[in-house]
Structure formats: structure tokens, C-alpha cells
Amino acid sequence: MVGVTGFNDLLMRRNFCTWKRAMQIQYNITRIEEWCKGHELPEGTLQLEHLMQATKLLQLKKASHNDIDIIYDVCWMLTPTQVQKLVQNYQIADYEVPVSPDLIKAIAMRVAANEKNDTLMLDAISLEDAGSFETPEIRDVDLEGERYLPGWLVNLSRLKSLMHLVVV
């Protein structure tokens, strides 16, 4: 219930769609994850997955068409309409470059090309009606760390070593 309400509020409140707010929400989700693990409830955070991916979207770079592809790869649970709404509502910080109209059009084209049932808001279902938790399917993702990091960070030798360990 918390994940659905939080996600729907994030979609509908323009002032929540900021990089800073996404960092705050992600921190809070991390605290909930730690609590669930500490109380042997690892499946407790599955209902927060949409909210986690929405916060990732708000923190990712949104400057090029390649960035949009990365957003769709990272935020695979979000529908194209949800991605469009979050990007349209995104409020830039003083130091950020606004999302270009071309990128917003590219996202709108993905929404128009989408043939599946595309929803914006999540339905709030009580835990009694939800049944058991379902684990999302594991997806193979091509991890190219350089795609997600700024150029100046990629050239650091320790970071390269760490990225190699993660990818391998």
C-alpha cells in the first residue's frame, strides 16, 4: 500500500519530481529494505519496486536519446506513460539543464507506439486481496557501467577495477 500510494503521489505531484526528492525517497526505501532484511522479510520490499524505479528515473541523466534508452532499460517495470509523466513533471535544479522538447517528443512517440495496456496510476490493493508476493522475473541486463557514469568518473582506476568486479 505504501509503495502504491507513494508512487501515485510522485506521479501526480509536480513538486515531488526532483532529483533531491528522489534521493530522499530512495534513502527512505533503503531504510525500509534494511528493516525488512533485519526482520527476515526479504519479500517485503517487492511492493516498492515501482517507487524505486521512479526514483531512479528522476536521478538519471535526461539529456540525450541514449539517456532515454538507458531510462527504459533501468526502469523496465514502468510503463511508457508513467515514464512520460515523470519526465514531463521533472523539476530541474539550478545547476541542471532542462529536458529538451525533442526528448519529450521521443518519449511521447514511445507512448504512441506502445500497443499493450498502458496504465498511469497503480491500483491500491489491500494485502488480504493481493495474495502472496510475486517475485519479478530475473532479466539479463548488459551492464556497461560507462553508460551510467559521467566521463570524468570512468577514468578513475579504482572505479574501473570495481566496475570490472561488478560486471564479471
What pLDDT, in 10s, does the model give residues 71-103?
999 999 999 999 999 999 999 888 888 899 999
User: What's the rounded Cα separation, in Å, for the pair 168 and 108?
Assistant: 36
The DSSP symbol for 105 reads H
Report field, pTM of the whole predicted structure over 0.85: no
Where are the domains positioned within the chain? 2-137, 141-168
Q: What is the mean pLDDT of residues 139-163?
A: 64
Query: Which 3 state secondary structure label does DSSP give 91?
Result: strand
Q: Confidence band (pLDDT; 50, 70, 90) for 141?
A: low
For cell 515531488, name the residue: 16
For cell 514531463, name the residue: 88
Q: Confidence band (pLDDT; 50, 70, 90) for 153?
A: low
Higher pLDDT, 38 or 161: 38
Q: Are 10 and 16 in contact (CB under 8 A)?
A: yes
**Treating both helix axes as pointing N-terminal to C-terminal, what angle do 65-74 and 80-89 enclose, rounded to 10 degrees?**
120
